[in-house]
Structure formats: C-alpha cells, structure tokens
Structure 1
Amino acid sequence: MITVIHGNCFGGGLQIALGADIRYATPDARLSIMEVKWGLVPDMGITQTLPGLLAADVAKELTFTGRILSGTEAHDLGLVTGTADDPLSRALDLAHEIAAKSPHAVRAAKQLYDETWSGADPAGALLLESKLQVELIGSPNQLEAVHAGMERREPRFTDPD
C-alpha cells in the first residue's frame, strides 16, 4: 500500500499512514505522535511499525513530547519514504511501475518482508524465503517475465490467484 500525506497527520492518522508499505509526504506536511498531549499512549499497531522505522531513542522522544515534524524532517528520520510537492503524482507513478511487475512476485516479496522483518527467527526467515522462491520459479508470471525480457517486450502478467 502506498500512502500520501499532506496537511496534518496526527495521532491515529499517522498510525494508519505508518501501516503503509511506502509513504510520500509534502515537505510542509505536519506529522506527530500526538497521543501524549491527550494523556494517552499511541496505539493502533504503532508498536509494530515504529521500531522498523526509527531508532528507539527517537521514537521515544517523539512519543514523549508529541513534537510536530515537517514532511522533510519525517523523511530525514525515516518516517516517510520521500517528499514531493505533488506526492500523489509520485505515488501514482510508483504504483504504475509496481503494477507493471509480476503480481505474484510483488505479493510474495511483500509477504517475505512483512513476515521476516517482524521478528522472525533467522532460520524461519530463510525457510520462508526459499518456500516463496520455489512457488514462483516456473510459475506463469515468472516465465512471462523471463520471456518478455529475452524478447525485449513489455510483459503481460495475469492476476494472482
């Protein structure tokens, strides 16, 4: 999922955005883990998303203060993938680029990263990597990717199961 952030993105809105695979923001967007200002702790899965994006001390500083970040600072810290004056166009361009790839390979890569980067043991991560690769090798979309590359043409992928 690709998310675009412009204007204010506070509290629960930020936590929803952090659940995306890729995030683009305007440089002047305003982001904050704001729950502390309301006497609350951040929720909605932030304990699962934030550790992969920020160092613990930075996450704590932002959480304990509710400080508002610009889109530029959020990018510098790793909360957003990139900034653009027109992040929707950038997101759509990326979506088109991803959509032109094998949907089976994209889905498997997403599964691989989502499952192994969330604390899986190294052996389990390697087993999942091998399992997904074996499922892809020789599949119709994998063969189409190879043939299209060899024939120097755009691939024509089929939808995933």
Structure 2
Amino acid sequence: MSQRVKTDISGHVAHVRMVRADKMNALDGAMFEALVEAGTQLAGNDDVRAVVLSGEGRGFCAGIDLSNLADPQGRDRARSDIASRAYDGVNIAQHAVMQWRRLPVPVIAAIQDVAFGGGFQLALGADMRFVAPDARLALMEVKWGLIPDMAGMFLLRGLVRPDLAAELLASGRVFTGEEAARLGLATRVCADPVAEALAFAGEIAAQSPDAIRAGKRLLSFADEALCTRILNAEATEQQALFGTANQAEAVRAGLAKEQARFGPPAAAPVYS
C-alpha cells in the first residue's frame, strides 16, 4: 500500500493520501488495490472518528491512467476488472469509491487543483468535499468514449438535478471549485482544502463517536437494492464500451488532439 497510498492517524483522525504525485495520483490497478486496503483497515479501526482523503502534490486525482486506455492489453485488463464482481457484487473501482460512503465515520475529500473523471468520482464517494476555488473538476469520461462507472451515476443523483447531471456527463467539461459549490457538488470552498478538512475532522473527532456514527448511518440509510442495480448497470455499459471502434477512436483522437471520426453507435447492452 505504501507505494500508492499512505495513512496517518492522529487524534482519532485518519489522513489517507494518494502518493503518486508524478502521475497526478492517476488511478491504476495498484492504486485501486491500495485504496481498498486503506478503506478496509479503517473500517475495522474503532479508534478512528473521521477521515480526510487527499492527494499528494498539486492534484487530488487526475482520473484513470491514460496508458491503460491507449494500450490494447491495458484495455483488456481494465475490461476484465470491470466485469469482475468480487466485492459484494461490485467491481474493485466501484468498491474503491463506495467504501468511503459505507465507512462508519464521516469522510472528507480535500481537493486541490485537479479531480478529473475517476478522481472526481472518488471524491463523490466522500461524505463532504472541501475544494479550492480554482480547483478543476470534470466527469470527462465521454472524451475517451466511456461513461462514469465508479458509482458516479448513483452518487450524482443525490447531489444535482438530473438536467445538470446530464449536461456534465454529455459535455465532459471542466468546472471550477466555485462552480462545484454552486452546483451542489462541493461542501466548502477554501484556500487550503487539506488544512481545513483536517481541522474540521478534528472537530468531528471531539464529538461523541456513538452520535457521529449514528448520524452517518441515518444519512446513509438508502435503497441499497437500487444502488446495486445502478452499479451493475454502470459496469454493464462500461464493459460494452471498452474496445469498441468508437471508443478506440475517441482515445486515438484525444491523444493526438484531433477531431474524432466516429461511426454508427453500437447496440445497447441488456442489463441483468
């Protein structure tokens, strides 16, 4: 885990940091495994009362490592990971996000600079998001011929209006931390998100741990059957998109900074 994620615990507050700064903390198989390991360890730690999730360097998380999309073998591995339902019926990427929502204590994502694609979905898995005003955020999977498939479709529906979600998904556009707050996607806008998140986590840790956990249980009380259905649909759609001619063309054109030349759409998959 130390190669991708580090966890420090002090004063009942756990600070989980992605430590792949040279790649803007981009998500690859090792990062997903490290995030899951960190979440699993914290879930069993009764001494922890609040968690801060951040990224080292200037960015929170740049999203999926693009080398996985450009390389055919990487695409095959990613598609295999999507198809796997090894984590209580969901795949590892979805679990890496949803585990923070299901952790028994509040989780704050501290977003400085970049949170793109899977990185933004990771932030959505937290209970709160503290963002820098000039942070850059996006659900930009459409730029690569894909869809958000890390629980983003489930988590978005409780935060923004359906038309706003549709606009963000269809455009893949980048928006600032200030706009994220206006949209309802950011909890606080602050000059130093990590420092403010840690300070607020300390305030949470000073409260009764029983009351804090009870409050999160009540806020998290939702239709788990619906959540599972949406996550399954995400994975089904993404698995069908990976490796299609149009998806490969989106990656080629995006990396070459050219206008894509798309063919007819593929047939829609059937959800189980």
Fold-level match, TM-score > 0.5?
yes
Q: 2:131 aligns to what?
A: 25
Q: Which amino acid is the alignment partner of residue 206 of structure 2?
A: A
Q: 1:126 aligns to what?
A: none
Structure 2 gap segments, 5+ residues each: 1-106, 227-272
Cα 1:54–1:87, aligned 2, differ >3 Å: closer, same or farther?
A: same
Contact 1:24 1:91 in 2 (8 A): yes
Q: 1:141 aligns to what?
A: none
Q: 1:81 aligns to what?
A: 187
TM superposition shift of 1:19: 0.4
Distance 1:117 1:79 in 2: 21
Residues 1:115 and 2:221 are matched in the alignment = yes
Cα 1:117–1:91, aligned 2, differ >3 Å: closer, same or farther?
A: farther
- SS of 2:221's equivalent? helix
1:62 paired residue among 158, 164, 168: 168
Distance 2:193 2:142 in 1: 29
Structure 1 gap segments, 5+ residues each: 121-161
Contact 1:31 1:70 in 2 (8 A): yes
Q: 2:119 aligns to what?
A: 13
Correspondences of 1:125-140 after superposition (within 5 Å): none
Which has the larger helix fraction?
1
Distance 1:101 1:79 in 2: 26
1:101 paired residue among 207, 222, 242: 207
Q: Deviations over 1:72-122 (max 9, x none)?
A: 0011111110111111121111101100111111111101111148799xx
Normalising by structure 2, report the TM-score: 0.43
Q: Percent identity?
A: 50
Distance 2:161 2:223 in 1: 15
Distance 2:192 2:160 in 1: 25
- SS of 1:98's equivalent? helix
Query: Over the residues paired in the alignment, what is the CA RMSD in angstroms?
Result: 1.6
Higher radius of gyration, 1 or 2: 1
Q: Which amino acid is the alignment partner of residue 195 of structure 2?
A: S
Distance 2:146 2:199 in 1: 38
